[in-house]
Amino acid sequence: MSFILDALKRSENERQQQGNAEFSSVPTGSESPRSSRWLWMLGVLLAVNLAVLLGILLRPDRQPTAPATTAMSPANESISAPLPTDEAPDSPAGFAERVAEAREEQSVMAPAAASTPTPAPEPQRSNTSQSASVPTIDQLRLDGSLQIAELHLDIHVYSEVPGERFVFINTNKHRERSQLPEGPVVREITPAGVILSYQGQTFLLPRE
């Protein structure tokens, strides 16, 4: 009897163990959603990486932007350019340019003077006599009555028309009634030179 009971218990235990093994082999409901969630996240990451890669490969090359250049209008250039003054000394290059311009102006004036009638000799004689009556700058320096800086008449242009007369003294262009940086005032431009006035003295700076 005891053998029968033992066999029944043994068979019952084996059946229970077999049932437990089958139950443990069945996947639980909690593991299936977790694995599917990981698969979904992995798929999303792969899709994002693929989209980024396609965007880089298919992106068109950008043309380099050329630097914007603004063209200065002649009006702005004329405003920004400093105005020349009679008092400011010129550099050697600037003085050479101004000498060339003065020679061109003098050559333009020559045909016009040739086409006009010959002026009467009386005004020219009066200018010559006036220049002869005025002492020169060297005479006043010799007698000690004039103390002034060195003056050099570079260019002398005389015309019967007062507005067309001009001189270059110490590389600066002057017309009648203009003042030199050294102090003298241009009173008159004559055929013999230029008559200057300084500290109550009137003298002639003769042309060379």
What six digits make up the tokens of 18? Answer: 């077999």
Rounded to a whole number, what is the distance in angstroms from the first to the last CA of the chain?
163
Q: What is the pLDDT along the chain (208 residues), one digit of tens a residue?
A: 566 667 777 777 777 777 665 545 545 554 456 677 888 888 888 888 888 888 887 776 655 555 544 545 554 444 454 554 454 555 666 666 776 777 666 665 555 444 555 555 444 445 555 666 899 999 999 988 899 999 999 999 999 999 999 999 999 999 999 999 999 999 999 999 999 999 999 999 998 8
Rounded-to-integer distance, Cα 141 and Cα 125, Å:
27
What pLDDT does 65 receive? 53
What pLDDT score was predicted for residue 125?
A: 47
Residue among 175, 152, 173 at smallest CA distance from 165: 175
Residue-level pLDDT at 78: 47
pLDDT of residue 162: 92
How far, in Å, CA of 195 to CA of 204, rounded? 4
Q: How many Cα atoms occupy the beta-carbon half-sphere of 19 within 13 Å?
A: 6
Site of tokens 């040739």: 114
Residues 6+ apart with CB under 8 A from 158: 165, 189, 190, 191
Say how far apart CA 130 and CA 127 lie, in whole Å.
5
Q: What is the pLDDT of residue 175?
A: 95
According to the model, what pLDDT value does residue 62 have? 56
Q: What angle do CA 77, 94, 193 make, to 5 degrees?
A: 125
- pLDDT at res. 11: 75
Q: Give me the pLDDT at residue 84, please.
A: 47
